[in-house]
Each structure stands twice: as structure tokens, then as C-alpha cells.
Structure 1
Amino acid sequence: MSSDAPVPVSRDAVSGAAVPMPRTAVPLGISDPVEKARAELKAALAAIEVKANVPRRLAVSIDNGVEKARTFSRRNPVAAVAAVVAGAAAVGAAVWAFVRSYSR
């Protein structure tokens, strides 16, 4: 299961154009039962890998969040600065409340 593997391609039924196929899909038109079973096993293992690879899913989610934050800050820089200040104030208040409750 290498990410360097070529992306499988299927043909669109209407236009005949090449359409990239996800790693977790089984190609249509396999008539040999052994090849079909191998393709299904490969797709199932790829689906398990995609679902169970938490660090990669987390990295993708973080990248998406960073991209959304950058887009938001480009569109509305004043609101982005206000959000950062509000976040910093919330973290500061939470730390202050924790230290205060711990010291009493």
C-alpha cells in the first residue's frame, strides 16, 4: 500500500474520458473471479488504511483549517485580528481560572 502507486483510471460511460478512480473503489468489468477478489481485497485494505490512519487524517484536517483561516484573514483582516485577540483572551482567562482554583 504505497502512496506512490499510480492512480487507477476508469472511462466515463458517456464521453469515454479518463476519470481518476479512488483507491478504495473496485474497477468495473473484471470478469476473472480471482482478479475481482484481489481487486476487492486491495480496495478493502485501502479503505481500512484510509480510515485507520489517524495522523494523516489529522494532518489533512489541520491543513484544511489553516487554509480556511488564511482565506478568512485575506477576506476580513480586522475580524481575523479580533478573533485572534478573543482567542488569546479566552486562553488567558482559562489559565488564570485554573491557576486560581489550584492555588486555593
Structure 2
Amino acid sequence: MTDSENTELARTVLPRTAVPAGLTDPVESARAELRAALAAIEVRGNFPRRIEKATARGVVRARAFAHRNPIGAGAAVVAATATVGGLVWVIARAISR
């Protein structure tokens, strides 16, 4: 392959969940559709990975907020702690009655 072919190939890389256009062979088309469907199912159904990515995004956002506004971040931590403590107290009180 030449450099221009490599550049063209790099520009046309599709996501795993996409079916490439221009497939004329019905068998290859069906295989590509099946691969794309299975990849989409994996992406949508892999909850641990989705939760991990969402948690990482949340941590990045929280750190950026704490960097921009340290007093607001401290207040948010105090409010969250008071909320969780109050919830635990209400549940413990309800169980003890």
C-alpha cells in the first residue's frame, strides 16, 4: 500500500457498530450486518463498562468543579454527607420502632 492509500483507509475507518457501504455480495453484507449488530449489543449490554465510563466522567467533572470552585465543592461534600447521614438515621429509626 502506498501512503495515499493508508491515508484514505485511515479516513474511512468505521465504528464497530456500522456496516460498510458498497458491499455487493449478499453473504458479505449479511456477515457485516451481523458483526455490527453483535458489536452494538455488546456496547449497549456491557453495563459494567458503561458504569465504569460514567464514573470516570463524573470523577473528571467533580475534580474540575473542585478545581474551579473549592468552596462550592466543600459545601457539596458537606451537603451530601448530611443527606446520607440523615437518610441512615431515618432508616435506623424506622427499623427500631
Q: TM-score normalised by the shorter chain: which range applies?
A: 0.7 to 0.9
Q: 1:23 to 1:17 in 2, by over 3 A?
A: closer
Tell me the SS of whatever aligns to 2:36: helix
Going by fraction, where is strand more abundant, 1 or 2? Answer: 1
Q: Is residue 37 from structure 1 mapped to residue 37 from structure 2 by the alignment?
A: no
Runs of 4+ that moved beyond 4 A: none
TM-score by length of 2: 0.83
Structure 2 counterpart of 1:83: 76
Q: Is residue 93 from structure 1 mapped to residue 86 from structure 2 by the alignment?
A: yes
Give the unaligned 5+ runs of structure 1: 1-10
Going by fraction, where is helix more abundant, 1 or 2? Answer: 2
Q: 1:57 to 1:70 in 2, by over 3 A?
A: same
Q: In the aligned structure 1, how far is the partner of 2:10 from the partner of 2:40?
A: 25
Give the unaligned 5+ runs of structure 2: 1-7
TM-score by length of 1: 0.78
AA aligned opposite 2:30:
A
1:36 CA displacement: 1.0
Q: Is residue 28 from structure 1 mapped to residue 27 from structure 2 by the alignment?
A: no
Structure number with higher relative contact order (C-alpha < 8 Å, ≥ 6 residues apart): 2
